Amino acid sequence: MLTTRFVQGAPNWVDVGTTDIEGAASFYRALFGWEFRSAGPEAGGYGFFQLDGKTAAAGMQTTPEQGPPAWNVYFQSRDADATAKAVEQAGGRVLVPPDDVMGQGRLAIFADHAGVSFGVWQPAALKGLEIVGDPGSLCWLELYTQDMAREAAFFDAVFGWETSAMPFPGGVYTCINPAGEGEDAMFGGLVALADVPPGTETEPYWLPYFEVGDTDAAVSKAQELGGKVRMAATDVESVGRMAKLEDPYGARFAVIKSAAPQEG
């Protein structure tokens, strides 16, 4: 499961780039209870979404030239410069070279072999998200890909990720965990685009999941606030009830009320 005990290769940050940060802040405040707090005038409009005083995500104003609104995911790196070299050696690209961020840590943005962007955060003063797994916070990630084997090999080379197969009704799901941490540390999954219903996912990308107390209520609220439903609320046995959504500005995300852990 996702925790704030961040280790090499584990998700430790998530932020949304949007053409209307004030509108997005209003949307997510009503949906998840987040309060937007500016990181200061020197941060260029970047700020933190806080839930009960703990940072659950972040956000920033972007321009159309920077790409469409989207959620961005970041992974722990003990050495961002070494990770940049590993990305290039594995066939990826460095989009934003490693750089210090106001003494808070070291940031870099990459693209994998398929062109899907992801970031790393090498912590200093800012360790990472302060709340995960609780309602209103990040709980899972999925990478939609055209080539499962190649993607797994890429991230194994970059982070040492380990994968495992989890059977579920209708097929097998490929889970990811950090190197040497075992299946208890699973934080996401790889999903083949060929295996999803036609028209639901058409391109490789990272999809963040946020825990909610009531999936159907979250879907209704998102629609009321101007968001769109990309996949209706669906039950997955032993996993939970989930739905895929899009905020009013086009950033894609998912919500889930996770199933209670099975005893034994």
Verify that 154 and 249 share a domain, yes or no.
Answer: yes
The reply to whether 189 falls in a domain is: yes
Verify that 144 and 253 share a domain, yes or no.
Answer: yes
What pLDDT is recorded for position 41?
A: 80
The pLDDT-based confidence of 262 (bands split at 50, 70, 90) is low
Instruction: Work out the mean pLDDT of the chain and round it to a whole number.
Output: 94
Verify that 154 and 240 share a domain, yes or no.
Answer: yes
| Domain around 58 | 11-123
Number of domains in the chain: 2
> Where among 96, 123, 150 does a domain terminate?
123
The pLDDT-based confidence of 264 (bands split at 50, 70, 90) is very low
Give pLDDT tens digits for 124-180.
Answer: 999 999 999 999 999 999 999 999 999 999 999 999 999 999 887 777 899 999 999
Verify that 102 and 214 share a domain, yes or no.
Answer: no
The 10 Å CB-count burial string (b at 16+, else e) for 62-73 is beeeeeebbbbb
The reply to whether 106 falls in a domain is: yes
- Burial (0-12, 13-18, 19+ Cβ within 10 Å), 2: buried
Verify that 28 and 97 share a domain, yes or no.
Answer: yes
The reply to whether 40 falls in a domain is: yes
The reply to whether 130 falls in a domain is: no
Verify that 47 and 119 share a domain, yes or no.
Answer: yes
Q: 166 or 246, which is more confident?
A: 246
CATH number of the domain at 46, please: 3.10.180.10
Give pLDDT tens digits for 214-223.
Answer: 999 999 999 9
Verify that 181 and 246 share a domain, yes or no.
Answer: yes
Give pLDDT tens digits for 25-77.
Answer: 999 999 999 999 998 888 888 999 999 999 999 999 998 888 899 999 999 99
> Where among 75, 98, 123 does a domain terminate?
123
Verify that 239 and 149 share a domain, yes or no.
Answer: yes
258 in Cβ contact with 186 (< 8 Å):
no
CA distance 104 to 13: 13
Q: What is the pTM of this model?
A: 0.96
